[in-house]
């Protein structure tokens, strides 16, 4: 017989215990992770599983998370690089010369510190 409580499909105490443990784990870290299901090619799955074995990672999900975090950092870094390049491209010749003078000054200061 089905219980009226959501998530519990039996009055069997074992099901209740398992469901309770699962709910407690997800409630402990609200918003931290989301469970999703994706369809991947067999080659992609094999690649992820190989990475998991080689790195002795906890799970394939953790490998996928690392890959996504790495891509996110790379995208952020590229965005900063573009912003810096855009800034320096927007400088007038006079501002470029001033920046070069400040750079030369800074380099001279470093070499003085090395001498002491």
pLDDT, residue 97, reads: 96
Q: What are the pLDDT digits (tens) for 76-107? A: 999 999 999 999 999 999 999 999 999 999 99
How confident is the model at residue 93, as a pLDDT? 95
For residue 94, CA distances in Å to 15, 91, 98 come to 74, 8, 6
* Count of all residues that appear for the chain in the document: 116
Beta-carbon neighbour count of residue 57 at 10 Å?
16
The pLDDT of residue 44 = 96
pLDDT value for 5: 40
CB 9 within 8 A of CB 3: yes
For residue range 15-41, what is the model confidence (pLDDT) as tens digits? Answer: 444 445 444 444 555 568 899 999 999
Give yes or no for residue 1 having a pLDDT over 70: no
């Amino acid at each position: 017989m089905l219980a009226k409580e959501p998530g519990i499909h039996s009055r069997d105490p074992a099901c209740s215990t398992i469901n309770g443990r699962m709910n407690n784990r997800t409630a402990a870290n609200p918003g931290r992770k989301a469970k999703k299901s994706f369809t991947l090619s067999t080659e992609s799955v094999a690649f992820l599983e190989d990475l998991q074995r080689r790195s002795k990672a906890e799970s394939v999900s953790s490998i996928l998370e690392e890959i996504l975090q790495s891509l996110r950092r790379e995208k952020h870094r590229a965005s900063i690089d573009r912003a810096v390049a855009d800034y320096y491209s927007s400088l007038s010749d006079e501002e470029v010369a001033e920046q070069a003078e400040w750079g030369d000054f800074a380099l001279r200061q470093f070499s003085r510190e090395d001498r002491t």
